[in-house]
Structure 1
């Protein structure tokens, strides 16, 4: 999860004079986890559902409400900068959306420059999905001259000096030679044109989402900045721009809008208009276990830095600031009410429920599968349902397809829900290369597929996977294991030859069998050497994966 570091003096400069002990006590009540602290400052980890707290200015703004220093929604004046950016049709098929804003009156020193860069990279991950969805550029405005153009160019069409370089490079050279270009080349490589932001004199500001130009690099002398946010999701682009602008405004900057001229129309950014939503007092009381009244709910929402108005005896209307992008439903307002009341003060209660418990049939099936696998000499492992595209697809030699993605992932390792158990077993082998061989492991667990026909949009499927590694592991051994597993589970063992990208050609077979109440499909064989290399494994691996379905 994103970790931000700030000094106690930073908070004092932002209007919060609080002793260290009190701050360490309060921060976890706001939904953070303190990583470390000393006499100078603190390292705090925030959940990615609150990207507005990824800067010290955002933390201070929220703290002032929690401590009762300020209440209600902050007001930010947005004046017109007179600047505009034209979005050319050539970029629409690559990275179609852009937002821009100007911030005047900023003050930078070495520490502030570092904090801004960390803030930018945290947002790249939390909202931007590692720049795929959103990418941010922050420029010294005095180094360029508007109006600006956002266009798609051919890889060799222009050249400029990228950030932290001394020589000019074409966009293609940047993707092939520059460290940032190599890291993020996969975001543009499939396109014939690359996005480019230029000023009225043809100077290059950046090649989103890769890197800015050295020309607009921020320094301690910078006083006016131009913020650009580009991406593939219009809503995420505007949300990110709002968070950045309001954070700089908390530090004393003045926000100025930029006109975005698109082929389908024009608008000004940023748009800091609040969103209105009502919350039921009765529902908030029931969900929190508190005895609330409309006035108390209004006060608690005001502490959460929202404006609030009592509509009736059971409804309070909340005005939600533009930077609070995580408030989507009424229950999110209830959560804010609980946080501002102080979760530590809420007394836990046992529910008054009388039931007769009975083990779920699928759980009984799980236990039987575990008994079979343990009887065959396997050791059970349990991995997280969350994985990432690199381990799930790239390392397994699979094509990326439809999947259930995590909207606001906690880390880069957990960005999607798994559709297979095999990569989790190989990750386990990778982490245990130092242990003795042979290693025989299995896992029983759920995987999730996108399914628009289901009410939830997803389909949960139970799977069994096992894997074995040692110096002479081969197809014949895995075939005997697969036969023992399938027959002990009560199915007939019927196989056919199969080609699978994760397995060696000619050494993979499919399984399909139907029982009285359920059926199975699956495959087994020898893992491909390129897969082994991807997970850093030195010895052969044989594996089996079976999917269970109710008839």
Structure 2
């Protein structure tokens, strides 16, 4: 989590009220951030990754002002329409496909504003932008730019310009090898034959994202009007970063102007709407809030209400009604909830399935295996393409990144990623994981069914079918289960070296040697033998046999 140092005097000025230190410490801690220090001149606070809008004096002051009741409610930003255009060529589709822009006029670039802007840009790059790979921000002197602009991809040696921090022209390849920023962020463009650039109507290079701006558009002390570009690989992350930065500058009095960016009006600061039932809020919080009380709590968190909850465009953390409930809980004050003893008498007992999983884990650890724990969320490339499969998967409708946009349907791809990240470590490598997987099921309340799977991977120079089958034999002998393996085909495995594990007539697992193509897709060199077993169905069979 990023730690930021805020100018206390500037924050108080933006809040619109002086706050005593003891109350300031108390309210900041209850706002949903981790306060480290409040001094006469500074506020040092750790910001959670889901709130990048708090990474500046303006954003932090905005949230704090609402929370303490000074300036409550949804902030409205007037976006004026302009005739400026940014053309987006198809050449960037497989390079750095997304761009959003804004023009801000009459910007007061005081020392405090410049310091805040620089910190916001830096922290957004580091966290939200994944060190500029996913999102990069460029800030320019608007008055020296001639529109329309063109965003396109070109070969590295075709364009030369003077980048910030240099006095001589350099082409794009030279910038990556010789410029400090080029060396720092060249990894963002690894493997690309063409690089993205933004060029104005005078053929001046405005920016070489995500590396460096051209010196032509350098922001100076006398600059009053700004052009902001945000580029990246994830459209939601790009849009949110722009909205955060624009709102921060507007909070200091800047006027916002939109542009036509590839046929899209940018920025779009219209609040999102979300339907949230009051009964749902009260049920989760154990309260009896009236509608007016609920709206007042939303107002303290900078949200609005007009038949539906209104969410500011710079808030990317509210993606589900439960996030609104959390906001209401913060506004209500966790310290104000009264602990209650449930009106139930129960005897605690460990869940039988969890006991079963623990036994499986103990057995595998006894065989020299190492247990891992990976994310439930992954991406289509890992789940299918790298595994030579075409499985249907549960997609996230509001994914914040293409790295994590689907729920996993099996665990083997996650373990292959573990092997990839440890390919320089000592072999043999023997790992396993028991975790939840997901598949679509319209008969469930959510349309998604959850089940638990076990995946076991062995990797070394002689890893083979026999070795992984010995693992399965040992496991099932201890569980007093009989099974058989049937010949089958699976495109992730070598043909003739893969089997289907059947117990009591039910197909529960795949076992075999992963294909060389799959191993290469994961940048591995050693053979890999794998087992993937449906633990949920296996446990049900064991219970059924005990009943019989």
Question: Does residue 305 in structure 1 map to residue 321 in structure 2?
Answer: no
Residue 228 of structure 1, CA deviation: 1.4
Does the 8 Å CA contact 1:438/1:468 hold for their aligned counterparts? no
1:287 and 2:284 are equivalent in the alignment = yes
Q: Residues 140 and 189 of structure 1: is their aligned pair in 2 closer, same or farther, counting only changes over 3 Å? A: same
Structure 1 residues 291 and 183: CA distance shift in structure 2, 3 A: same
Choose the corresponding residue for 1:344, options 310, 323, 335. 335
In 2: Cα distance, 1:290 partner to 1:45 partner: 30
Aligned runs of 1:468-483 on 2, under 5 Å? 480-481=470-471, 483=473
Q: Which runs of 5+ in 2 are unaligned?
A: 539-548
Residues 213-247 of structure 1: CA deviation (Å, up to 9, x unaligned): 33334455543221112345555544432221111
Alignment of 1:14-53 (within 5 A): 14=14, 15-35=16-36, 40-53=41-54
Task: Name the counterpart of 2:139.
Answer: 138
Q: CA deviation at 1:179?
A: 1.9
SS in 1 for 2:160: coil
The residue that corresponds to 1:9 in the other structure is 9
Encode CA deviations 1:404-455: one digit per residue, 9 max, x unaligned: 7886779x99898663353586599799x8xxx9999754411536759896
Contact 2:436–2:453 under 8 Å retained in 1: yes
Q: CA–CA distance in 1 between the matches of 2:39 and 2:189?
A: 40
Deviates more, 1:450-459 or 1:139-148: 450-459
- Distance in structure 2 (CA, Å) of the matches to 1:5 and 1:156: 41
Normalising by structure 1, what TM-score? 0.74
Separation in structure 1 between the aligned mates of residue 388 and residue 224 of structure 2, nearest angstrom = 47
The alignment's TM-score, normalised by the length of structure 2, stands at 0.75
* Residue 189 in structure 1 maps to residue 192 in structure 2: yes
Relative to structure 1, is the Cα distance of residues 185 and 234 closer, same or farther in structure 2, using a 3 angstrom cutoff? closer
Q: Structure 1 residues 352, 425: CA separation in 2 closer, same or farther (over 3 Å shift)? A: farther
- CA gap of 1:520–1:89, structure 2 versus 1, over 3 A, is closer
Q: What's the Cα RMSD here?
A: 4.9
Return the alpha-carbon distance in structure 1 between the equivalents of residues 168 and 436 of structure 2: 49
Give 3-state SS (helix, strand or coil) of 1:49's partner: coil
* Separation in structure 2 between the aligned mates of residue 427 and residue 155 of structure 1, nearest angstrom: 30
Cα 1:382–1:473, aligned 2, differ >3 Å: closer, same or farther? same
Contact 1:81/1:256 (8 A) holds in 2: no
Taking the aligned partners of 1:400 and 1:16, their CA distance within structure 2 comes to: 59
Q: For residues 465-511 of structure 1, give each alpha carbon's deviation from its aligned partner in whole angstroms, at most 9, with x where no partner exists.
A: 557899x997687675554345445355759999999x9x99x9645
Cα distance change, pair 283–453 in 1 and its aligned pair in 2 (3 A): closer
Say if 1:492 and 1:513, in contact at 8 Å, map to a contact too.
yes
CA deviation after TM superposition for structure 1 residue 66, in Å = 0.7
Cα 1:527–1:448 shift into 2, 3 Å: same
How far off its partner does 1:84 sit?
3.0
Contact 1:523 1:545 in 2 (8 A): yes
Q: What CA distance in whole angstroms lies between the structure 1 residues aligned with 2:279 and 2:129?
A: 37
State the Cα deviation string for residues 489-547 of structure 1 (Å, max 9, x = none).
Answer: 5355759999999x9x99x964532112552213469999x99x989x9xx99875432
Maintained 8 Å contact 2:142/2:226:
yes
Which residue is equivalent to 2:183?
179
Partner of 1:383: 373
Closer/same/farther in 2, CA of residues 454 and 120 from structure 1, 3 Å limit: farther
Tell me by how many angstroms 1:63 deviates: 0.4
Q: Which residue of 2 aligns with 1:422?
A: 415
How many residues end up aligned between the 2 structures? Answer: 522
Cα distance change, pair 92–348 in 1 and its aligned pair in 2 (3 A): same
Q: Tell me if the contact between 2:485 and 2:502 (Cα under 8 Å) persists in the aligned partners.
A: no
Distance 1:229 1:197 in 2: 11
**Which string of whole-angstrom CA distances, capped at 9 and with x for unpartnered residues, describes residues 308-345 of structure 1?**
46xxxxxx654433323444454443332222121221
* Mapping of residues 55-134 of structure 1, within 5 Å: 55-80=56-81, 83-88=84-89, 90-91=91-92, 95=96, 97-108=98-109, 113=114, 115-124=116-125, 134=135
CA–CA distance in structure 2, aligned partners of residues 218 and 483 of structure 1 = 69
Cα distance in 1 for partners of 2:116, 2:394 equals: 33
Residue 383 of structure 1, CA deviation: 2.3
Instruction: Using the TM superposition, give the Cα deviation of residue 119 of structure 1 relative to its aligned residue in structure 2, in angstroms.
Output: 2.2
- How has the CA–CA distance of structure 1 residues 38 and 457 changed in structure 2, closer, same or farther, with 3 Å as cutoff? farther
Instruction: Quote the residue 1:515 is aligned against.
Output: 503
CA distance in 2, matches of 1:259, 1:68: 35
Provide the secondary structure at the position in 1 that maps to 2:339: coil
Alignment partners' CA distance in 1, 2:151 and 2:431: 52
> Is 1:446 aligned to 2:435, yes or no?
yes
- Work out whether residues 457 and 528 of structure 2, in 8 Å CA contact, stay in contact via their aligned partners in 1: yes
Is contact 2:74-2:302 (8 Å) kept?
Answer: yes
Shift in Å, 1:204: 0.8
- Mapping of residues 460-475 of structure 1, within 5 Å: 460=450, 462-465=452-455
Tell me the distance in 2 between the aligned counterparts of 1:460 and 1:280.
Answer: 26
